[in-house]
Amino acid sequence: MVEQLSLSEGDGDCFLLTPNRSMSWKGNIRIWLAAFILSMVISTGMLLVGAWPVLPFAGLELAALAAGFYYTSRKCQRQEVLTFSRELIRLEKGLTHKEKEWELPRQYTRVWQDVPRHPWTPPKLHLQFRGEEISLAPFLNIDDTEELVAILEKKGLRVEKRRRPEKLWF
């Protein structure tokens, strides 16, 4: 998701880039609780007919589901802040707070767009300055990536397309 933020100093534009979050943490907990109740009803029934080995596997299944929900929810908390001033582009990345920051001169920064091999795959964007290539919002979907490309072009940056060499499946 691409969201424009307002700056207090007024001489630049700031954009918040976040992944799409289909469900809140409370929603994830509700889904897990529903799966827990259903699993416990089935496991209790199996336990009553003498199939007790089902119970530990149901517990493992619920633990794996909880771990998957936590991991996915945590990854969806990533965010990037892209700030444009007259002479600089600032990119800040982090999960709950700023973990990394880059300041790149606007005039000498190149923007690369990797053309995807499949039409359903979103293109990947990179900022490049002096041989350092920084991934820009790899979590965006196709529509949000197109919106970000339009913003970058509106800000005067030329987005160059490139096709990476084909890799094997791994």
Q: What kind and span of H or E run contains 13?
A: strand 13-17
| Tens digit of each residue's pLDDT (9 = 90 or more) over 124-168 | 999 999 989 999 999 999 999 999 999 999 999 999 998 877 666
Decide: residue 23, CB within 10 A, 0-12 exposed, 13-18 middle, 19+ buried.
Answer: middle
Give me 87's structure tokens.
């002479």
| Tens digit of each residue's pLDDT (9 = 90 or more) over 3-29 | 888 765 656 789 999 998 888 899 999
How close are the terminal C-alpha atoms of the chain, in Å?
Answer: 28
The whole model's pTM is what? 0.80
Please name which of 81, 74, 69 lies closest in space to residue 1, comparing C-alpha atoms: 81
Give me 92's structure tokens.
């800040």
45: number of Cβ within 10 Å: 11
DSSP letters spanning 36-77: HHHHHHHHHHHHHTT-TTHHHHHHHHHHHHHHHHHHHHHHTT
